[in-house]
Structure 1
Amino acid sequence: MNVRHLPALLVALAALGQPLRAETPRPDTAAFFEDFTEGLDRGRWYVSDGWTNGDWQDCHWSAGAVRVQDGTLTLFHIPAPEDGDRPAQCGEVQTRARLHHGTFEARIRTPRAPGLNASVFTYIGPVHGAPHDEIDIEILTRDPGAMTVNTYVAGKPHNGGAAPATPPFDETFHTVAFRWEPEGITWFLDGQEVHRTAPGSPLPEHPQKLYLSFWSTATLTDWLGKQGPREGPLGYEIDWVAYTPLGEACLFPGSVTCADP
């Protein structure tokens, strides 16, 4: 997005520290609707654990900050203890498969707190042996009354924007979505189109992984705000998440694709 003040390598480091495993550039074309009623499908999702993306991120990804309970996936931000025995911990999950053109949707609720970022995004980059392509939905929890969007193509940002959310994300769940097509990308909030890529603008082309992520910073305060003192964890809740490949539609009630002609 045009308010994003991160280097092009911001998310490219997201997979550092993971165990090496064979990956194929061939995208997975299977649709899915994940409502977490049977827990977290570890065959579909990889839990980030044991590293941080860089000095700008002041929390470490931790499996202990990821929980599924009563059909809701919660990614926590757990502050560091006063004795400094460990750093703050934060939660992230990512698909094992790479996904291509289609519609990506999630029903989410975030806390209200400066200094943190709750996101639904797709990403691929040099760590995967590919150029940096990315499609973002981010809730800057300093102001959960807006959804911000953006793309990266070959490491360069394009098509940033924002849409108001009423009531804000800390007061209720909202459904966020984007449709990625060869001709353009359209973002939706609660089923309504709120932003689209400009005609002729560069577009991501490479299959990408889907990420759900909640992290904090002590340095990017112009963008995310400055964290204040607090006790106890904050939780970013995901009620469900879904992917519908291009050419398919209305695979579950409430999908934005059900409104397609």
Structure 2
Amino acid sequence: MHKHRNNIGIRLALPAFALLVASPSGAGAQEGAKGTSFVEEFDRLDTKFWFVSDGWNNGAHQNCTWSKKQVALQGGVLELHFTDTRTGERDYACGEIQTRARYGYGTYEVRMKAATGSGLNSAFFSYIGPVDKKPHDEIDFEVLGKNTDEVQLNQYVAGKGGNEKLVPVAGGADKSFNDYAFIWEKDRLRYFVNGELVHEVTDESKIPSNAQKIFLSLWGSDRLQNWMGPFSYVRPSSMSVERIAFTALGEECRFPESVLCALD
């Protein structure tokens, strides 16, 4: 659920003509989907590619203010922090980055370690909405700090959600790095955890259609207790990301660990 390189990644992209050749006919390319395939390994943070959220919050449900000070790189790992630093209207500060470009059908992948703590949400998702003069479409992986033994999948179509599914994460999503991916097509949406298919949606009324930006965020809430658990701040927490990637529909896998490499 979402409303809405200080240091600095190796980002690899195919030339535009290759994307045109690889794009399958009839795939229904979305308006505004100008983002091309990339693999980001966070050796640097290119702010022409990534927008760092700073100076606002997403509404009354969020108890932290986005702050660029809570976004850092360390040894090729993106760190998004949550701290008890009063910022703006909130007693806490938190970190988020988002792509500047919008992306369409294809494979979205992240390798990340979630934060620990009830009331926190470590999220990898795609989103577009009214701020971009589009309907609210969204595809989510969210690890709720109240139970890091699972990850929640969900998608919104024109603001309508209710598609939640909880999937186990062996060993705990906050104990080590895990791979999360979704393959988004016009008539099918598949979710993967550590290379295993864990959920498939084929009802087109439950599959978003609008091109979206890609987000990584760590935030907290003391109001959404039924969903995120009671908020209890113990110490600064961090969400860590080793890699994030997008592969346009019809293209070959871009790195050896990609879920696309193992598909038939």
* TM-score interval, normalised by the smaller of the two chains: 0.7 to 0.9
- Report the secondary structure of 2:131's partner residue: helix
Q: Shift in Å at residue 29 of structure 1? A: 4.5
Superposed displacement of residue 229, structure 1: 3.9
Which amino acid in the other structure matches residue 122 of structure 2?
A
3-state SS in 1 of match to 2:246 = strand
SS of equivalent residue, structure 2 residue 208? coil
The aligned residue for residue 185 of structure 1 is 189
Distance in 2 (CA, whole Å) between partners of 1:86 and 1:161 is 31
1:155 deviates by 0.4
Unaligned runs of 5+ in 1: 1-5, 13-24
2:155·2:206 contact (CA, 8 Å) conserved in 1? no
Match of 1:11 in 2: 3
- Partner of 2:260: helix, strand, or coil? helix
Distance in 2, Cα, partners of 1:26 & 1:53 = 24
Contact 1:123/1:135, CA 8 A, preserved across alignment: yes
Residue 167 (structure 2) pairs with residue 175 (structure 1): no
**Aligned-pair CA distance for 1:201:** 3.7
CA offset digits 1:53-111 (Å, max 9, x no partner): 11110100000000011000010001146xx9972100000000000000000000012
Aligned-pair CA distance for 1:158: 4.5
Q: Does 1:61 align with 2:66?
A: yes
Q: Does 1:52 align with 2:52?
A: no
Matched, 1:74 2:75: no
- Matched residue, 2:33: 27
Alignment of 1:1-261 (within 5 A): 10-12=2-4, 26-37=32-43, 39-80=44-85, 87-231=91-235, 233-261=236-264
**TM-score for the superposition, normalised by structure 2:** 0.86
- Partners of 1:200 and 1:26 in 2: how far apart? 20
**Matched positions, count:** 238
Residues in 2 aligned to 1:224 and 1:65: alpha-carbon distance in whole angstroms: 21
SS at match of 1:137: strand
* Distance in 2 of aligned mates of 1:225 and 1:108: 22
Aligned amino acid, residue 34 of structure 1: E
Asked if the contact 1:119–1:213 (Cα under 8 Å) also holds between the matched residues in 2, the reply is yes
- In structure 2, the gaps of 5 or more residues are 5-30
Report runs of 4+ in structure 1 exceeding 6 Å deviation.
Answer: none
Aligned twin of 2:8: none
SS in structure 2 at match of 1:242: strand
Q: Alpha carbon RMSD of aligned pairs, Å?
A: 1.9
Structure 2 Cα separation of the partners of residues 156 and 130 of structure 1: 14
- The percentage of counterpart residues that share the same residue type is 40
Q: Is the 8 A contact 2:40 2:245 kept in 1?
A: yes
TM normalised by structure 1 equals 0.87
Contact 1:159/1:198, CA 8 A, preserved across alignment = no
